[in-house]
Structure 1
Amino acid sequence: MSGVVRWNPFDDLGSLLPRDWLGRFGLQATTEWSPRCDVTERENEWVVHAELPGVEAKDMDVRVANGVLTIRGEKRSERTEEEKGRRYSERFFGSFERSLAVPENVDVDRIEASLKDGVLEVRLPKRAPSAADEGRRIEIRTS
């Protein structure tokens, strides 16, 4: 049949269904996800908030290199329920990574990060403006 697009409902559920169950149907579960980030510019700093519920600081790595802020780590969760003689157990292990460009006016030596209630906050202080930041007029030569 030409022109027919087939939708596979399992494509959207890859990371939500147990791996064993998906394997029976020849499907793979995805284990990567990207945390939601909000970036706010304030007078003296930029602030990044990344939503990382259930992730501990020891499972994260926050770095800045070559003008890029990278937040990466691993999320692990395990859940077991027992009800009326039945037991349900599920485990999830997945890596994540999020990279954001760092504005040129950031003092990278003073960047700080903190984690509270599943939200990572990264503060990127702006450096004091210098004459070089304001630019300069360039003369145009004529022949």
Structure 2
Amino acid sequence: MADLPVRRGSGSSSVGRWTRGFDPFEQMRELMGFDPFERMGRIVGGGGEQTWNFVPAFEVKETKDAYIFKADLPGVKESDLDITLTGDRLTIGGKRETEQQEESDRFYAYERSYGSFSRSFTLPEGVDGEHVTAELKDGVLNLRLPKLPEVQPKRIQVGATDSGKQGKVKA
């Protein structure tokens, strides 16, 4: 790994040290014994360190014959996913495990999040729970919940009517 350049002041006076090449992170490390990059992205809880929760982005759309859910789940394994449909409630949960870290590792940015997540969606009536399909490919979850045939839109033909005849319904 290449060394990251860090500017440090070369002046001998305290004013020069604070104004030229001021590195607030280096000052925090020296004065407080605290490295802001060492635990970036973590919070301290009652029982020790915990990671920020992983909150995946979802896309939900309705087509004429199904409801489609897509979620960005990079680094999540199929075995770490739990998808349930109970009545009109769809719940998608899982976890993204942290990567192995060595004690000697020093982070300069820690923006990726790890941990467990759970999202629930209330579905409208008419979902065919027996034919739901789910696929996790390239870090994207694709979930298709088909509509029951009786709730799918039906096209109504409008036509010329003879005395008393009505338009016909096409399925």
For the superposition of Structure 1 and Structure 2, which TM-score range results when normalised by the shorter chain? 0.5 to 0.7
**Residue 42 of structure 1, CA deviation:** 1.1
Paired position in structure 1 for 2:149 = 128
Select 1:66's aligned residue among 75, 78, 87: 87
Aligned length in residues: 106
Paired position in structure 2 for 1:47 = 68
Paired position in structure 1 for 2:40 = 17
Alpha-carbon distance in 2 for matches of 1:89, 1:80: 9
Alpha-carbon distance in 2 for matches of 1:31, 1:129: 44
Q: What does 1:1-143 correspond to in 2, within 5 Å?
A: 17=40, 19=42, 23=44, 29-78=50-99, 80=101, 87-88=104-105, 93-129=114-150
Percent of paired sites with the same residue:
36
What TM-score does the superposition give when structure 2 sets the normalisation length? 0.53
User: Structure 1's 70 and 89: CA in aligned 2 closer, same or farther, altered over 3 A?
Assistant: farther
Alpha-carbon distance in 1 for matches of 2:106, 2:99: 8
Runs of 4+ in 1 over 6 A off after TM superposition: none
Alpha-carbon distance in 1 for matches of 2:104, 2:90: 43
Alpha-carbon distance in 1 for matches of 2:55, 2:41: 20
For 2:105, the aligned partner's letter is Y
Of 93-102 and 113-122, deviating more is: 93-102
Answer with 1 or 2: which has the greater Rg: 2
Alpha-carbon distance in 2 for matches of 1:124, 1:31: 31
User: Structure 1's 87 and 62: CA in aligned 2 closer, same or farther, altered over 3 A?
Assistant: same
